[in-house]
Chains A and B, each alone.
Chain A
Amino acid sequence: MNNLFNYIDKESPVHRLTGATKFVCLLLWNFAAMYTYDTRYLCVMAVLSFVLFAVSKIKLKEVSFMLGFTAVFVLINNVLVYVFSPQHGTEIYGTCTYLFGLSGKYAPTAEQLFYHLNYFLKYLASIPSVILFVSTTNPSEFAASLNKLGVKYTVAYSVALALRYIPDVQKEYDEISKAQQARGIEMSKKAPLMKRIKSAASILIPLILSSMDRVEIVSNAMELRSFGKNKKRTWYMGRPFKWTDIAAMIFCAFLVIVAVFLNFKNNGRFFNPFI
């Protein structure tokens, strides 16, 4: 199954953590990575991310689609930052060191390049953790552990349910799209944009209508099997919290504390090597 949300079943210490633990760790980890621009810290985080990948036994090849997608995104993002504020680095670090003997608004400065390095490192520290979360967390088990953390089970279950129906909807979209193309709806890049938007409607309307039918059937099927009867429910895929879960969360909390500490030490979010 080629979904964006792609759980890869393996046996590893990362897989063994509960979904909720991984979710909390993900939030803490990313808060830390977003909070600081300290280059040394980000480097450590980036390295740690890849160590975690190795521990989880997820191969880079298996998540290549997501990696490629984010790589393109990061690249565009960096280019745009440079185009719109080429002097951002100078403003932050307070010095202006032109490189290669050039000068002017768009001339590269050491500060700007350093800023871009940090920016890039931030992604390097955070994106792998997101991908890792997605590929090592069984959605059902995630729903179960969210519920344990106090999220209402009806809400938690809807996560798992949505994932259950993604392949069905994908398949249906494909079929409808082909049949509509046969009737002459142009979906290829040859058609002008407005026409393509209109064409999309002629696929989406049948898709939405047939999904609505499905919603009614599912909600009946669920009610007939006691969904919503009690305030609580148990989970087939649920797992008890273990000491490793606690340890993982403590470690991530520690990362946040370090990030906050660095903030005071650096007198701000940036580590400045130029002064």
Chain B
Amino acid sequence: MDTILKFENFGFKYDAQTSPTLYDINFSVKKGEKVLIAGPSGCGKSTLVHCINGLVPFSYKGKITGSLSLFGRETRDMSLFEISKHVGTVLQDSDAQFVGLTVAEDIAFALENDCVGEPELHDRVMDVAKLVNIDEFMGHAPTELSGGQKQRVSLGGVLVDDVELLIFDEPLANLDPATGKQAIELIDELQKKTGVAVIIVEHRVEDVLHRSVDRMILMDKGRIVADATPDELLSTNALIEKGVREPLYLSAMKYAGIEVTPSLRPGSIDTVVIGEAEAGKLRDWYEHAPADRKPAEAEDILDVRHLSFSYDGTRKALNDISIKIKSGEMLAIVGTNGAGKSTFSKVLCGFEHEDDGEIFFEGGDFKGFSIKERADRIGYVMQNPNQMISKIMIFDEVALGLRSRGVSEEDIKTRVEDTLKICGLWPFRNWPVSALSYGQKKRVTIAAIMVLEPKVIILDEPTAGQDYRHYTEIMEFLTELNKRGITVIMITHDMHLMLEYADRAVAFSEGRIIKDADSAAILTDSGIIERASLKETSLYELCKKAGIPDGTDFVRRFIAYEREVVRQ
């Protein structure tokens, strides 16, 4: 029996919806195979995952057409529990799926439910913990673990069942670039050790392809639109057409006029062939590409001097931070979890109080300003819009800050309406918030901050979990605000965001600023990359292959080209 999973003319419609979510799905997964499924948000990939692991139809009811078989048996005739003996699922949000109070209990969870007794229970948990290399943390609680460790625990929790197929639902969504890279390596390594088949569902294609996959399936609007090897698929423009970001090195090659064919092995930066002809084209493009524009001179809006802060009085979350931010800048703050990025913004907003140092806003001392007073100058937008929205109607949500400031209803009406127009929410002004998509909700939360007319706006992971289309939408909107003179500070893990939208990036590590430069300089500096838990951009590797000596300058020109030529 070689085929593990087989879809034949499969379709699915949720009971609550009028039209099907999946149509004509045909593909199979063989023993030990590794498949990447990509597609934009709403293309049906999450539903597809639910179909494979049995949540559809056992938890989410609906109508199935066609056939889906696991080892030759129709899954709808099996039970959810039977399926889970064969198929292990690592869900997207490793924070929320952690059910045990400690690492050991979480790994043991499936065994406990299968009534495995002692001493087998403890032995098997230990074996798996060693396999995923988390055995030193058995007694730790989930809140004490890093993102990468959590991923290891969730993996351990499904591997303990000796499954034949592992599904990863957006495994990279909450991880910083370096941890994401390690996660992909870990998946690869485990697959080689255990021989399981692996399905990775992810729209960050370039990051997944860091380790080779056998096949790539591209989905759009509930259908499979391509099923090919990465080399074949990346030789087409299918990804871009369907709203999935293509690897950066590929974009650069295309800009340079290189015709990408499967024979160039474009599936990964490690395999792609840059021969004499291709290298010549790249060098030629590089020499003629527009040079980076110099940032305009402007006044400092924020001047932070020797800022230090500690939550517990011993470990410094911020250690002697000094930074000047110019009015009208678009700035990225990067670094690993716990490096101090969020703490820095919390201190700026007055949520926490600095132990030492000074903050000047437009030359005036910020000390003594309350949270509310600072909010009139610096707006803060949380990562998850659901954490901010507390009103039913969009208008009321945006008006909330003004109402609590005692602004007259008349003024509120004009100011809210103006803001809604700027934020592209005017058509929805009388809608309830719940009718909006995630990206639109994000806009509402930004509008709710913008209405207070702050000069600086801080966004925590503005594009986390968004596909390319929504990412572009949100970022273009922020660029638009930035052009109106708002200083934008973005806390992010997203290297694309840094490269494409930030004029300048500040890397944090262990409470200190370790580098303050333009994004191209940071993403090509291997020392900083390692300390800030980033990943080298594939453009840099491409330069090496093409024999271009100044990789940083190449990246700068690539960004300038994208900004000035491609995006217009």
Interfacial residues, chain A to chain B (CB-CB below 8 A): 1, 139-140, 160-161, 163-164, 167-168, 171-172, 175-176, 178-186, 201-203, 205-206, 209-210, 213-214, 217-218, 220-230, 232-237
Q: Can you list 15 A-B pairs, Cβ within 8 angstroms, ordered by A?
A: A182-B375, A182-B380, A183-B448, A183-B449, A201-B390, A202-B390, A221-B99, A223-B84, A224-B54, A224-B84, A225-B84, A226-B114, A227-B109, A234-B111, A234-B116
**A182 and B112 contact, Cβ closer than 8 Å, known pairs A206-B386, A210-B387:** no
Hey, what's the 0/1 contact readout for B111-136 against A, CB within 8 Å counting as 1? 11111111001100100000000000
**A139 and B122 contact, Cβ closer than 8 Å, known pairs A179-B387, A223-B59, A230-B113:** no
Q: Are B387 and A172 in contact (CB under 8 A)?
A: yes
Q: Are A225 and B113 in contact (CB under 8 A)?
A: yes
The 10 closest A-B pairs by CB, nearest first: A184-B404, A221-B97, A236-B108, A226-B113, A182-B375, A202-B390, A225-B110, A178-B351, A183-B401, A229-B81
User: Which residues of the other chain, B, contact A182 by a CB distance below 8 angstroms?
Assistant: 349-351, 371-372, 374-375, 379-380
Any chain A CB within 8 A of the CB of B16? no
Residue in chain B with minimal CB distance to A232: B115
Q: Are A230 and B404 in contact (CB under 8 A)?
A: no
Q: Are A234 and B55 in contact (CB under 8 A)?
A: no
Which B391-418 residues sit within 8 Å CB-CB of chain A?
391, 400-401, 404-405
User: Which residues of the other chain, A, contact B143 by a CB distance below 8 angstroms?
Assistant: 1, 167-168, 171
Interface contact tally, CB-CB below 8 A: 161
Most buried by A among B58, B101, B104, B386: B101
User: Which residues of the other chain, B, contact A205 by a CB distance below 8 angstroms?
Assistant: 389-390
Q: Are A235 and B80 in contact (CB under 8 A)?
A: no
- Closest CB in chain A relative to B12 CB, distance in Å: 17
- Closest CB in chain A relative to B407 CB, distance in Å: 10
Binds A, one of B88-96, B202-210, B217-225, B292-300: B88-96
Give A233 to B117 CA distance when docked, in angstroms: 9
Give A168 to B96 CA distance when docked, in angstroms: 9
Query: How many residues does chain B have at the interface if contact means C-beta atoms less than 8 Å apart?
Result: 66
Give A202 to B158 CA distance when docked, in angstroms: 38
Give A178 to B347 CA distance when docked, in angstroms: 11
Give A171 to B98 CA distance when docked, in angstroms: 16
Q: Are B89 and A224 in contact (CB under 8 A)?
A: yes
Residue in chain A with minimal CB distance to B122: A236
Any chain A CB within 8 A of the CB of B151? no
- Closest CB in chain A relative to B158 CB, distance in Å: 7
Q: Are B388 and A180 in contact (CB under 8 A)?
A: yes
Any chain A CB within 8 A of the CB of B382? yes
User: Which residues of the other chain, B, contact A233 by a CB distance below 8 angstroms?
Assistant: 112-115
Give A184 to B95 CA distance when docked, in angstroms: 30
User: Which residues of the other chain, A, contact B384 by a CB distance below 8 angstroms?
Assistant: 210
Give A161 to B53 CA distance when docked, in angstroms: 23
Give A220 to B169 CA distance when docked, in angstroms: 13
Hey, what's the 0/1 contact readout for B406-450 against A, CB within 8 Å counting as 1? 000000000000000000000000000000000000000000110
Residue in chain A with minimal CB distance to B383: A175
User: Which residues of the other chain, B, contact A139 by a CB distance below 8 angstroms?
Assistant: 101
Any chain A CB within 8 A of the CB of B174? no
- Closest CB in chain B relative to A167 CB, distance in Å: 5
User: Which residues of the other chain, B, contact A209 by a CB distance below 8 angstroms?
Assistant: 386, 389
Q: Are A220 and B371 in contact (CB under 8 A)?
A: no
Residue in chain B with minimal CB distance to A219: B59
Give A178 to B372 CA distance when docked, in angstroms: 10
Give A213 to B81 CA distance when docked, in angstroms: 23
Q: Are B59 and A225 in contact (CB under 8 A)?
A: no
Give A180 to B371 CA distance when docked, in angstroms: 10
Q: Which of B89, B115, B121, B141 contacts A1 (CB 8 A)?
A: B141
Q: Are A221 and B404 in contact (CB under 8 A)?
A: no
Any chain A CB within 8 A of the CB of B105? yes
Most buried by A among B117, B386, B400: B386
Q: Are B388 and A179 in contact (CB under 8 A)?
A: yes
Most buried by A among B98, B112, B391: B112
User: Which residues of the other chain, B, contact A203 by a CB distance below 8 angstroms?
Assistant: 390
Q: Are A234 and B84 in contact (CB under 8 A)?
A: no
User: Which residues of the other chain, A, contact B371 by a CB distance below 8 angstroms?
Assistant: 178, 181-182
Any chain A CB within 8 A of the CB of B102? yes
Which B268-303 residues sit within 8 Å CB-CB of chain A?
none
User: Which residues of the other chain, B, contact A225 by a CB distance below 8 angstroms?
Assistant: 84, 99, 109-110, 113, 157-158, 161
Q: Are B55 and A183 in contact (CB under 8 A)?
A: no
Give A1 to B158 CA distance when docked, in angstroms: 28
Q: Are B112 and A236 in contact (CB under 8 A)?
A: yes
Give A139 to B101 CA distance when docked, in angstroms: 8
**A186 and B404 contact, Cβ closer than 8 Å, known pairs A140-B101, A140-B102, A178-B346:** yes
Give A230 to B349 CA distance when docked, in angstroms: 51
Q: Are A161 and B99 in contact (CB under 8 A)?
A: yes
Give A48 to B93 CA distance when docked, in angstroms: 48
Give A225 to B382 CA distance when docked, in angstroms: 32
Any chain A CB within 8 A of the CB of B142? yes
Q: A168-B95, A175-B382 are in contact. List 9 more A-B contacts (CB 8 A).
A: A140-B100, A164-B99, A164-B142, A167-B141, A179-B380, A184-B452, A202-B390, A224-B53, A225-B158
Q: Are B105 and A236 in contact (CB under 8 A)?
A: yes
Give A237 to B107 CA distance when docked, in angstroms: 12
Q: Are A234 and B121 in contact (CB under 8 A)?
A: yes
Give A226 to B114 CA distance when docked, in angstroms: 7
Give A161 to B109 CA distance when docked, in angstroms: 12
**A180 and B390 contact, Cβ closer than 8 Å, known pairs A140-B100, A222-B99, A226-B81:** yes
Q: Are A235 and B388 in contact (CB under 8 A)?
A: no
Q: Are B96 and A218 in contact (CB under 8 A)?
A: yes
Residue in chain B with minimal CB distance to A227: B113
Q: Are A229 and B375 in contact (CB under 8 A)?
A: no
Q: Are B388 and A184 in contact (CB under 8 A)?
A: no
Give A168 to B94 CA distance when docked, in angstroms: 13
- Closest CB in chain A relative to B390 CB, distance in Å: 4
User: Which residues of the other chain, A, contact B405 by a CB distance below 8 angstroms?
Assistant: 184
**A206 and B112 contact, Cβ closer than 8 Å, known pairs A184-B401, A185-B404:** no
User: Which residues of the other chain, A, contact B91 by a CB distance below 8 angstroms?
Assistant: 217, 220-221, 224
Q: Are A183 and B113 in contact (CB under 8 A)?
A: no
Give A229 to B55 CA distance when docked, in angstroms: 14
Most buried by B among A1, A172, A202, A225: A225
Q: Are A221 and B96 in contact (CB under 8 A)?
A: yes
Give A161 to B100 CA distance when docked, in angstroms: 7
- Closest CB in chain B relative to A194 CB, distance in Å: 14
Give A232 to B112 CA distance when docked, in angstroms: 9
Give A229 to B78 CA distance when docked, in angstroms: 13
User: Which residues of the other chain, B, contact A167 by a CB distance below 8 angstroms?
Assistant: 141, 143
- Closest CB in chain A relative to B312 CB, distance in Å: 11
**A181 and B81 contact, Cβ closer than 8 Å, known pairs A168-B143, A236-B112, A236-B122:** no
- Closest CB in chain A relative to B537 CB, distance in Å: 31
Give A124 to B161 CA distance when docked, in angstroms: 50
- Closest CB in chain B relative to A156 CB, distance in Å: 12
Give A229 to B110 CA distance when docked, in angstroms: 10
Q: Are B113 and A179 in contact (CB under 8 A)?
A: no
